[in-house]
Structure 1
């Protein structure tokens, strides 16, 4: 018999057990059914909405400044002759660690019996690791320290992300998830936009460039953690198994058992691969393809960041609203892929910075449109409902991280191939990105269980 705390979510949250659970009695099944009915009618807990947005604010400010502004510039100073390889390798390591560890940390989150809740411990530990990574990057003077700081950031993102993303299916019904995901993405984008405006002003002070993000993240997490109305899991309801078994359990999934989840995974993977090809080397496209000088680069970096994050913000507002209103989320994902492909082609064929920024606007608008729509679609096809929400949200996170890692490794080869042709290295990379993005929009049509 389940204890009164076992699997019970916060007000408005979802149960951690499913009707197929053999440990439930008939009375327990009826109680679960009634609780689920109440959950579907209850408004989303406001405390959790605020907490989710604060976490997004801190992570956005702390992590987007390095990727959009700081890392390309700092790496170019430390290793100017191999900057594209080093940047690609750093981002690949970061993405690979996030991909490889997230399911394990997701499985741990689903088994956490702390008196502080199931999700709070992971969020707190992950936030501390991200702050440590940012401070290391702030004092880095060589490539190994860049990798070390990136390592801590990747670990932190895996731990905190596995727990924080699970708060949404834990706490909110399907009818409101698109809007919450939209506002979450919007908050992160606005935080990144602010960081990207401030970042170019701090290029001469590396410690401040990374340290400011660490301070903002720490403050946001400190406010958010006490606000979370978290689920609590009784120790008696956690299967007894070793840490190693838990680790492997985090990766155990049979694609044939949940084909819709599998197709959504493939769709996100291919779309994100196109996005990685179309955004990672934007700074180098400006300098190497369009001939922008180092003196003229800082204001263009700021402008590119403003357009990128502004476009994402507009896209999330539209996508977050439509994801809960439009009958077919699959059609919306196809629209997002068409927008990204169009923007990538415009950039690939651009000969001026104006055309480059127009193409970038389409790309970032598509990203904002995609995030809440695809996120809501994922949560509607989670295997087993919310019982293993953190685990499967982490697994779907592989479709975000693996293509970023693989794309960063593959991209230099595509650039080298393009450089040997009249087309050029970076234009070819953007064209390949357009093809990948369009493929992602077509693959999602294979999902049958939901629209």
Structure 2
């Protein structure tokens, strides 16, 4: 497998900047995956259930429909996430503490994120709700940027598919657990508190058990070069550019499909208990995702190919969104959730490995992965901007899910433009 990235540092490079060539310690992948899942609990308990409930409670006093309130809150929060992830990745690259480059940010991020979730639960109005959600995004992104960068720091190329698979499994388990805690917690405040506790508890094993390689002292900090470093030219790194665009479009289609799921069940399917319905669909999605995420990552490692997996995963996800547009019934939603889980399981593990294979420089792994992760958060900004007008101005859910399918399909096809990875 080859890439158009810069050459790997040689044997004389500091440990933190070498391309890893030995297996990680026993239990490392499991502990990192648990920490990753804890972050997703903190994000998706609110996204799936709690923010929607708060928006419905607070909307009558604003004169806006609940869909628009939720769109504004999640969209602004996603914009904050989009900016914070690469910044925290870059800051972790420059961290030279005795605890390593990544561990201080993981520990500080989850503790601060848990506190932010508790504060968010008491938001009395839309402005404070928005500020609270933005604080959650800032703090949890500090931890997430460091967790993501730990993989190319420590895992050889030949094993990144399977590690990406375990991280993806933890991600969907985090979504399921977060949704469950939010649904069964006994109210908005209790749901946020349960998610906050899980965030901290899930990260502790990795933080306490595994030593991070000591960071490397960087040149004195200068704002100009620091800010310019975030621009990764598609002309200089074309494979990185196409990989970023593929991830963005597939995630955008997925974000559009998931944004109004609670309202879709309540207002279009007239489900008697839409909160429980979301939990059931999330569980179905999780089961099928778990059936494919680790297996597909390992299979990709074994055959040494990434692009075919990402292509067909994107096609399957687009088909699932199309099904929601054409078969608007509870059984249709169940089938779509299952198909979406299969596709997203393959995409999550293999696309992550593909992204780490096209990173330009070892010294900037955290920052560059942060820029790549903008392709995860930017869709959360774009999805409300696209979805709210469609739903509230007559397009309806059929059009909404048709748009989601089309966007995801374009993203899947564009993966073929990557030349340096098979």
Flag whether TM exceeds 0.5 (same fold).
yes
Seen in structure 2, the aligned counterparts of structure 1 residues 39 and 241 have a Cα distance that, compared at 3 Å, is closer
Seen in structure 2, the aligned counterparts of structure 1 residues 76 and 449 have a Cα distance that, compared at 3 Å, is same
Shift, 1:46, TM fit: 2.6
Structure 2 residue aligned with 1:443? 414
CA–CA distance in 1 between the matches of 2:190 and 2:7?
A: 52
CA–CA distance in 2 between the matches of 1:77 and 1:208?
A: 16
Structure 1 residue aligned with 2:35? 55
1:43 and 2:20 matched:
no
Shift, 1:446, TM fit: 0.4
| Larger RCO (CA under 8 A, 6+ residues apart) | 2
Q: How many residues are matched?
A: 414
Alignment counterpart, residue 220 of structure 1, candidates 180, 198, 202? 202
Q: Does structure 2 conserve the Cα–Cα contact (< 8 Å) formed by 1:200 and 1:301? A: no
Alignment counterpart, residue 361 of structure 1, candidates 338, 351, 355? 338
Shift, 1:220, TM fit: 2.1
Q: What is the CA deviation profile of residues 65-122 of structure 1, one whole-angstrom value per residue up to 9, with x for unaligned ones?
A: 1111222122212215511111111111121111112222111111111121111121
Shift, 1:47, TM fit: 5.0
CA–CA distance in 1 between the matches of 2:158 and 2:397?
A: 41
- Provide the secondary structure at the position in 2 that maps to 1:383: coil
Structure 1 residue aligned with 2:189? 207
Shift, 1:247, TM fit: 4.3
Q: What is the CA deviation profile of residues 339-397 of structure 1, one whole-angstrom value per residue up to 9, with x for unaligned ones?
A: 1111111111123211122112212321121111100001111112x221101100101
Q: Which has the larger radius of gyration?
A: 1
- Provide the secondary structure at the position in 2 that maps to 1:232: coil
CA–CA distance in 2 between the matches of 1:35 and 1:98?
A: 26
CA–CA distance in 2 between the matches of 1:231 and 1:264?
A: 29
Q: Does structure 1 conserve the Cα–Cα contact (< 8 Å) formed by 2:252 and 2:380? A: yes
Alignment counterpart, residue 347 of structure 1, candidates 305, 311, 324? 324
Please list every run of 5 or more consecutive structure 1 residues that lacks an aligned counterpart in the other structure.
1-17, 22-28
1:75 and 2:55 matched:
yes
CA–CA distance in 2 between the matches of 1:273 and 1:57?
A: 21
Structure 2 residue aligned with 1:269? 248
Structure 2 residue aligned with 1:121? 104
- Provide the secondary structure at the position in 2 that maps to 1:255: coil
Seen in structure 2, the aligned counterparts of structure 1 residues 362 and 240 have a Cα distance that, compared at 3 Å, is same
Between stretches 332-341 and 408-417, larger displacement belongs to 408-417
1:225-304 aligned at under 5 Å gives the runs 225-235=207-217, 238-242=218-222, 244-245=223-224, 247-293=226-272, 296-304=273-281
CA–CA distance in 2 between the matches of 1:71 and 1:30?
A: 49
Seen in structure 2, the aligned counterparts of structure 1 residues 89 and 311 have a Cα distance that, compared at 3 Å, is farther
CA–CA distance in 2 between the matches of 1:443 and 1:340?
A: 15
CA–CA distance in 1 between the matches of 2:279 and 2:225?
A: 44
Seen in structure 2, the aligned counterparts of structure 1 residues 37 and 208 have a Cα distance that, compared at 3 Å, is closer
Q: Does structure 2 conserve the Cα–Cα contact (< 8 Å) formed by 1:136 and 1:148? A: no
Q: Does structure 1 conserve the Cα–Cα contact (< 8 Å) formed by 2:261 and 2:278? A: no
1:389 and 2:365 matched:
yes
CA–CA distance in 2 between the matches of 1:31 and 1:201?
A: 54
Seen in structure 2, the aligned counterparts of structure 1 residues 34 and 409 have a Cα distance that, compared at 3 Å, is closer
Shift, 1:174, TM fit: 0.9
Structure 1 residue aligned with 2:69? 86
- The alignment yields a C-alpha RMSD, in angstroms, of 2.4
Q: Does structure 2 conserve the Cα–Cα contact (< 8 Å) formed by 1:277 and 1:407? A: yes
Q: Does structure 1 conserve the Cα–Cα contact (< 8 Å) formed by 2:8 and 2:18? A: no
Shift, 1:38, TM fit: 9.6
Alignment counterpart, residue 170 of structure 1, candidates 130, 144, 153? 153
Shift, 1:162, TM fit: 1.5
Seen in structure 2, the aligned counterparts of structure 1 residues 286 and 72 have a Cα distance that, compared at 3 Å, is same
CA–CA distance in 1 between the matches of 2:304 and 2:57?
A: 50
Structure-2-length-normalised TM-score: 0.91
CA–CA distance in 2 between the matches of 1:250 and 1:107?
A: 9
Structure 1 residue aligned with 2:354? 377
CA–CA distance in 2 between the matches of 1:54 and 1:292?
A: 33
Please list every run of 5 or more consecutive structure 2 residues that lacks an aligned counterpart in the other structure.
1-5
Q: What is the CA deviation profile of residues 193-230 of structure 1, one whole-angstrom value per residue up to 9, with x for unaligned ones?
A: 2333343223x422111101111111222332122321
CA–CA distance in 2 between the matches of 1:124 and 1:262?
A: 31
Seen in structure 2, the aligned counterparts of structure 1 residues 247 and 408 have a Cα distance that, compared at 3 Å, is farther
